[in-house]
A and B are shown apart, each in its own frame.
Chain A
Amino acid sequence: MKRINWTAYAQSLAAPLLAVGVGLLVGAIAIWAVGGSVGTTYAEMWKGAFGSFYFTASTLTRATPIILTALGVSLAFRAGFFNLGAEGQMVFGALAAALAALYVPGPGPVKMLAAVAAGMLAGGLWSLLAGWLDTRFRMNLLITTLLLNYIAVYTAGYLVAFPLKEKGGTGGAQTAMLDNSAWLPKLFAGTTLHAGFIVAIAAAVLLALFLTFTTKGYEIRMLGSNPLFAAYGGVKRGQLMLVSMLLSGALAGLAGTFEVLGTQYRYIDNMLTSPGYAWSGIMATLLAGSNPIGSVLAAILLAALQTGGMGVERNTEVPLEISSVIQSSLILFVSARITFSFIKRRKARAANGNAA
């Protein structure tokens, strides 16, 4: 029983690699169609993502909020709840974190901790609201989480455009700058990579361990796999749903918090929505099949495609949107992942039939 099943490992690696291959192939067609050189474009993409220490660090910086969101979404998906509200949860988390860091008195670390707590709480509560609407009023979670995104984004936009706008600031809709004692430390001088990345990796490991080794993790997996089985075994769906939605939103809130504490040092309207961190996080989750460690890799891949895309735009005629095309074809391909087993099964069946 201890023997390692190498073919199984190879298979579990083959599928994502194949998906990446298909994504790059579609990308190549798109590049070719707009008259770009496929080789040059992909070379620029690689350079833009990992071409130097600085670019690699930027890619990982971009991956940080994506990883955290992806973890939150993975947790909800694992429990069987289609939480598509990461964007709103992240926005409220970031705004709450900025406010806490601005207005909680005390030394830097206190401000920082208050910001993290406020960010996670705000994201978690916003997510919990959708969970509560489901358990209490049986409202479709997928839809409510989506709609709540718009409400959060517009509310936060209003708040930073008017009541919370930086006093006397010349900028647009944004809060005042945080005191630099509350800034997250950079991991390497001269790069954008901040300590949030370490936390994100640690969170992924913790989540993976939590799902595999704890009783609550077990209950969440069973609830997602077969809710009736879980109910039969004494798992409380309502309670567990609220817990997993709270945690899921808290992780998205943490993602927003780190963008405030580690990158922008203030809350700026659209700082999270324009780069589409939350949606990238959901994509990473889909790519990784809700596996926490896989989500980290998928998030880094997506971040690399995005920073790489910027490099492409800087240095070639091909637009940045090429990465969106590659990303979405990746997802589409992976979403049909049962395909392989299905085709295999069908072939097997045919083989049986022909055995006569």
Chain B
Amino acid sequence: MLLQMEGITKRYGSLIANDRVDFSLQEGEVHALVGENGAGKSTLMRILYGEEQPSEGRIIVGGRERVFATPSDAIAAGIGMVHQHFMLFPSFTVAENIVIGREPKAGVKFDRKAAAEHVKTLSEKFGMPVDPWAKVADCPVGVQQRIEILKVLNQGAKIIILDEPTGALTPLEVEWLLKAIKRLAKQGISFILISHKLNEVLGSADRITVLRDGKVIGSVKASDTDAAALSRMMVGRELAKFERKPVVPGEAILTVDNVTVLGDRGTKPLLDRVSLTVRAGEIVGIAGVSGNGQSELLQVVSGLRRVHSGKVTLGGKDVTGLSAGEFRRAGLAHIPEDRYLWGSAKEESVADNAIMGHLASLSKGGILRKRLIREKVARWIDAFRVKTGSLETKAKHLSGGNMQKLIVAREMAHGTPFVIAAEPTRGVDIGAMETIHEALLKRRDEGGAILLVSSELSEILKLSDRILVLYEGRVAGELSAGDATEEKISFLMAGGSGNETH
């Protein structure tokens, strides 16, 4: 056995993130680690990579027990990690990114030529073509990932941890990556693949270990199982079948007409002549590989970004070029894509975080009505079962899931005809996810118009009445709920033309 982790336990205060977890890896094996968000996958891998220390348990690599106090220790033991969010230096070249930490030297000088040549041989040896002199910022995501893997290989890694490696890739890039993993495994490199995409895992892993609530639920051979069995293990119960009431959509609430947003340096447009409509009583899902214009679209329809041409109307009012406040007054509620960046102020109280956007109804003559605020916020917190010490607790003390529930509660309380739900369930547990999904569907049934942006295809498919796919800032195609399948969406996400599917 190349690697053994035995009885790993990790406690944060009273919370147990990993509970006596055993995990092992053989040479040349691809071992997938699957589980819901918060199941403890990341914690386990952070422990293996020396970013966290286990409370209990031991790690044995190549027959020797090791203690990894820092990532350097793990790297020295032949363990490399490719993080979900790439750890690259965008303004540096590909070669610089790969050799960093073990730069070829000429005296005190950094020999960049030697680095480029070295990277060239390395990339040929492992069959991962890259241009050593290109700037990383100019490389597509798939290539950036290749750079990450080459970097780890250059560090001499025999074990590579891949954390959600396919999240930001197009289907073609995913296919390429999975093949590359298999090829590298034949060359003797071992992989730990963290994922929640069961199809990919089943197609590429030799063995699959399922974590739930910090415990190992089971470890099975990929050939002996299937997606249904795995998801039962992950969730611990059958997922509630979900019925969407048929609703006949009403009038258009949001229209985006031929909107173009240019990049900062006049490069190719971030949004290119995008048009879409969201009608009362429907959920319109926006799918796409992240970075294809979703964030910009969200900012445009919430008044946080100016358009260069085109028109946006909300509730029959032309809101093009107006401020976020005007959008809200015209009838917008907005669950933002990043709850900490946009959605909250960590240093302020739960109550202060809860009343953002509600000032008009919670004040009189410019004075906040504190008692009314306490009553209202307490009610929202109850309805969404937000766990908080008190209303005066600072928002930073809430867990991610509770913060998200607070934001959803706040935005749903607006009762506006139009709701933006961007990544509404990112990083929340299953219970919270169901609460949030129910709230969105309820609003739709009541005649609300909802724009859903999510990087989880399953979420898009589950909730949407219509699905639009964004590719390079353009609407690549539109599918109705009945027509949409994961395959069709993936095809559009990869830049396939929408005509034949529509």
The verdict on A6 contacting chain B, using a C-beta distance below 8 Å, is no
A352's partner among B55, B336, B341, B391 (CB-CB below 8 A) is B55
The verdict on B443 contacting chain A, using a C-beta distance below 8 Å, is no
B342's partner among A229, A235, A236, A356 (CB-CB below 8 A) is A229
The verdict on B105 contacting chain A, using a C-beta distance below 8 Å, is no
Nearest chain B CB to A338 CB, angstrom units: 11
Contact of A215 with B366 in the complex, beta carbons under 8 Å: yes
Scan B46-84; emit 1 where CB is below 8 A from any A CB, else 0.
000000011110000000000000000000000000000
Interface size on A, residues (CB 8 A): 25
The verdict on B352 contacting chain A, using a C-beta distance below 8 Å, is yes
CA distance A222 to B324 in the complex (A): 15
The verdict on A231 contacting chain B, using a C-beta distance below 8 Å, is yes
Nearest chain B CB to A191 CB, angstrom units: 38
Nearest chain A CB to B395 CB, angstrom units: 9
CA distance A356 to B304 in the complex (A): 49
Contact of A222 with B368 in the complex, beta carbons under 8 Å: no
CA distance A236 to B54 in the complex (A): 46
Given A222-B356, A226-B344, A352-B11: A236 and B53 interface contact (C-beta under 8 Å):
no
Scan A229-257; emit 1 where CB is below 8 A from any B CB, else 0.
11111111000000000000000000000
- CB-based nearest B residue for A233: B356
CA distance A232 to B328 in the complex (A): 9
Residues of A contacting B366 in the complex (Cβ-Cβ under 8 angstroms):
214-216
Nearest chain B CB to A343 CB, angstrom units: 17
CA distance A221 to B355 in the complex (A): 13
A234's partner among B13, B323, B344, B346 (CB-CB below 8 A) is B323
Contact of A232 with B304 in the complex, beta carbons under 8 Å: yes
CA distance A135 to B328 in the complex (A): 23
Interface centre among B56, B342, B345, B346 (most CB of A within 10 A): B345
Contact of B357 with A222 in the complex, beta carbons under 8 Å: no
The verdict on A273 contacting chain B, using a C-beta distance below 8 Å, is no
A222's partner among B302, B325, B326, B352 (CB-CB below 8 A) is B352
Contact of B348 with A221 in the complex, beta carbons under 8 Å: yes
The verdict on A9 contacting chain B, using a C-beta distance below 8 Å, is no
The verdict on A137 contacting chain B, using a C-beta distance below 8 Å, is no
Given A213-B368, A214-B366: A228 and B341 interface contact (C-beta under 8 Å):
yes
Residues of A contacting B336 in the complex (Cβ-Cβ under 8 angstroms):
232
Nearest chain B CB to A352 CB, angstrom units: 6
Residues of A contacting B329 in the complex (Cβ-Cβ under 8 angstroms):
234
Nearest chain B CB to A178 CB, angstrom units: 36
Residues of A contacting B391 in the complex (Cβ-Cβ under 8 angstroms):
1
B345's partner among A215, A216, A226 (CB-CB below 8 A) is A226
- CB-based nearest B residue for A239: B323
The verdict on A355 contacting chain B, using a C-beta distance below 8 Å, is yes
Contact of B342 with A353 in the complex, beta carbons under 8 Å: no
The verdict on A225 contacting chain B, using a C-beta distance below 8 Å, is yes
Q: Which of B315-331 contact A (CB under 8 A)?
A: 323-329
Contact of B324 with A231 in the complex, beta carbons under 8 Å: yes
CA distance A233 to B356 in the complex (A): 6
Nearest chain A CB to B430 CB, angstrom units: 27
The verdict on B466 contacting chain A, using a C-beta distance below 8 Å, is no
The verdict on B167 contacting chain A, using a C-beta distance below 8 Å, is no
Scan A323-356; emit 1 where CB is below 8 A from any B CB, else 0.
0000000000000000000000000100011011
Residues of A contacting B355 in the complex (Cβ-Cβ under 8 angstroms):
218
CA distance A230 to B342 in the complex (A): 8
CA distance A216 to B343 in the complex (A): 19
Nearest chain A CB to B293 CB, angstrom units: 19
Given A232-B336, A236-B325: A222 and B345 interface contact (C-beta under 8 Å):
yes
Contact of B325 with A221 in the complex, beta carbons under 8 Å: no
Residues of B contacting A215 in the complex (Cβ-Cβ under 8 angstroms):
359, 363, 366-368
Contact of B348 with A235 in the complex, beta carbons under 8 Å: no
CA distance A218 to B349 in the complex (A): 11
CA distance A221 to B351 in the complex (A): 13
A232's partner among B13, B324, B347, B370 (CB-CB below 8 A) is B324
Residues of B contacting A356 in the complex (Cβ-Cβ under 8 angstroms):
9, 54-56
Contact of A218 with B352 in the complex, beta carbons under 8 Å: yes
Nearest chain B CB to A213 CB, angstrom units: 5
The verdict on B334 contacting chain A, using a C-beta distance below 8 Å, is yes
CA distance A232 to B356 in the complex (A): 9
Contact of B348 with A222 in the complex, beta carbons under 8 Å: yes
Interface centre among A213, A231, A233, A352 (most CB of B within 10 A): A233
Contact of B12 with A352 in the complex, beta carbons under 8 Å: yes
The verdict on B499 contacting chain A, using a C-beta distance below 8 Å, is no
The verdict on B267 contacting chain A, using a C-beta distance below 8 Å, is no
Q: Which of B145-200 contact A (CB under 8 A)?
A: none
Interface centre among B304, B327, B347, B359 (most CB of A within 10 A): B359
Could you list 18 examples of A-B contacts with CB < 8 Å?
A1-B390, A213-B368, A215-B363, A218-B352, A221-B348, A222-B352, A226-B347, A228-B341, A228-B342, A229-B343, A231-B304, A232-B334, A232-B356, A234-B325, A234-B328, A236-B323, A236-B325, A353-B53
* A interface residue numbers (CB < 8 A to B): 1, 213-216, 218-219, 221-222, 225-226, 228-236, 348, 352-353, 355-356
Q: A213-B368, A222-B352, A234-B327 are in contact. List 17 more A-B contacts (CB 8 A).
A: A1-B390, A213-B367, A215-B359, A218-B359, A225-B345, A226-B345, A228-B342, A229-B343, A232-B302, A232-B304, A233-B324, A234-B303, A234-B325, A236-B323, A352-B11, A352-B12, A352-B13
8 nearest A-B pairs in the assembled complex, by CB-CB distance: A234-B325, A233-B356, A225-B345, A226-B345, A232-B342, A356-B56, A234-B324, A234-B328
